[in-house]
Chains A and B, each alone.
Chain A
Amino acid sequence: MALDPEFLRYPHRRRGMDHDRYEWSQLHEREPVEWPGGARLALWINVCVQFFPLNQRGVPFAAPGGMTMPYPDLRHFSLREYGNRVGIFRLLDAFDRFGLRPSFAVNGAMAERAPYLISVLRERGGEILAHGWDMDSLHHGGLAPEEESELIERSLDSLQKAFGAEHRGWLGPARNESPHTPDLLAERGIHWFADWVNDEMPYRFRTANGDLWAMPLSNELEDRFILMQNLHSEESWVEQVCDACDFLLKEASVASGRILSLNLHPWLMGQPHRIAYLEHALDYITSQPDVWSATPSEILRLCKE
């Protein structure tokens, strides 16, 4: 038995990356970034406002948080809806209490499903990221580029009608991409996206239609990853967030401004038994000196200078 000789050929074995999307660069070698007012740490909180359809096709896979039971999986369907009806209002109250300005990644389908919530978000004036159409409309290689382009168009149009503004940031459902997603996003006027988790600062990402910026939104620290995938306790999530905050503040005092990014899901963190842990974490972070509550576009503007 032997494998095809292709298996011992390495066409991309060369300096830098094995693809052309971005330049190889180590964080510690970059020019320092300064945040306003001498802050050391930019806190970027992003809240996902998501619709998980009951008739999930799961192509090419079911998104994390998606249906797992035979149709109709009302338990998971309604538990995700809980986030948009109940949980998010607990989150909003917590943000107001600590004076924080999160961004919101909104599925296009939510505009029609919850106009009241959209109006609340619009009045708050937080930054809105396009988050695809819904959690069962993944961007993947099985889509023809025209189909995917239509999906992006539909998501952006819905948000533009709902919020009355162009949206320049993108977070893919389940952070999934086809080989063309970055090209299609740039073509449609998206300026930055947050699917890739290879950095802690923004960096330039090449596409066929001009550069995008990749923004760092940690997956390893997000509520879903720690609580739902790893089954860690809420207490541990708080410890991990606080440890990250301490570490980044320390590194920022010798290196460069850093970013603490927290991606949150109201259907998870907005539960009555969890919300206090979010409040503990926010209390800790905001009581540290030199923390700046920032929107992703503000962070990006300073990093591009």
Chain B
Amino acid sequence: MRRQPKTEQKHTGAMHSDLKLYDYWPYRDRPRIVWPGGARIAFWVAPNIEFYELDPPANPCRKPWPRPYPDVGGYSIRDYGNRVGHERQMRLLDRFGIRGSVSLSAALCEHHPEIVAACAGRDWEFFSHGIYNTRYTYGLSEEQERAMILDAMDTIEKHTGRRPAGYLAPALSHSERTMDLFAEAGGVYTCDLFHDDQPTPVRVRGGQRFISIPYSLEMNDTIAYVVNRIEPRRYGAMLRDNFDRLYAEGESSGTVMCIPTHNYQVSCPHRLHALEQALDYITGHEDVWVTTGREIAEYFLNHYYDAALEDIRRKLEVADGA
């Protein structure tokens, strides 16, 4: 079918050329990061475990489904992820000793508690991915967005025993306040920014110690398979190439590699092998810290956050003085 534009209506308020969430901070000559155990790369896998509604209320800015109600194809392939794909991916990660960092649609705790329990039983991390992936941030008032963020955090805490530390906004839909509100709710890291290969401080209005953890759009299976329409074996090769370079560069200062996955994409029978080969390759290297988003965030905050801020300030001053 014809591809329909996802944007239906433009932002109604004033727009800004930059939200000033972070300062320019060149990749070279930063304070050196060394990950735990002397590792040079922090590697994490972020399975998105999502619930898409068959008939969500219409958002004024973005259509949830390309086809008119009911979009059987779009809805059912995502349901496939939970019915069929999740278990396959979880067992694969088990084999490589990888604990997933789950980007969780909070309502999935209510819809499919056994999936959440299976991940919790493996000591996986859960970070917030909103309530449903069919409820966008666009158009919400500040009060509404805060309520949505708190609802998701409370729900995840109630079902997993731990309050989420990270946020990937639902369907990557944001407002200008998203980071501020999440930091105020007690969150410490965002996955929504793709400006760097290392953790970086993010400026929020409340001044909380808040950071971005590299999550990678390019390595995201849905971006690779659906948007960029990449062949499965090439996706596997891209993952290995991405690792090779970040691993090499991590020798001078620790890098972060993330593979964001979706159980309805990677776990299809014709695709799982590509991920399996990449995981085998990556975890077969020395000096790889196989970890979670929360652990990377905590380690960075405890060891490098202050030095990063100082370095950023110094480099801005040098640039101003030049």
Interfacial residues, chain A to chain B (CB-CB below 8 A): 1-4, 6-8, 10, 12-19, 24-28, 60-64, 140-142, 174-179, 195-200, 218-221, 229-233, 236, 239-241, 243-248, 251, 260
Contacts and interface: CB of A to CB of B under 8 A. Distances in A.
B141 interface: yes
Given A176-B72, A198-B80, A244-B270, A19 B54 contact: yes
Interface stretch (B15-23, B28-36, B63-71, B313-321): B63-71
Interface residues of B, number: 57
Nearest to A60: B68
Contacts, number: 158
A13 B76 contact: no
Contacts of B232: 236, 239-240, 243
Sorted from nearest, which 4 A-B pairs have the closest CB atoms? A2-B141, A244-B269, A198-B79, A244-B270
8 contacts: A7-B59, A18-B53, A18-B55, A27-B83, A175-B73, A199-B84, A230-B229, A260-B269
B268 interface: yes
B57 A6 contact: yes
Interface stretch (B93-101, B105-113, B244-252, B296-304): B105-113
A114 B139 CA distance: 53
A275 B240 CA distance: 33
Nearest to A258: B269
B165 interface: no
Contacts of A142: 68
B147 interface: yes
B273 interface: yes
A35 B132 CA distance: 39
Chain A at the B interface: SS class: loop
Interface of B: 1-2, 12-13, 51, 53-55, 57, 59-60, 67-70, 72-73, 75-80, 82-84, 86-88, 107, 110-115, 131-132, 135, 139-141, 143-144, 147-148, 151, 229, 231-233, 268-273
A209 B86 CA distance: 32
B235 to A, nearest CB: 11
B68 A197 contact: no
Contact of B273 (A14, A15, A218, A247): A247
Nearest to B141: A2
Contacts of B135: 7-8
Contacts of B67: 60-61, 176
Given A141-B68, A244-B270, A260-B269, 10 more contacts: A3-B60, A7-B144, A8-B144, A26-B84, A60-B67, A63-B1, A195-B72, A197-B73, A198-B76, A236-B231
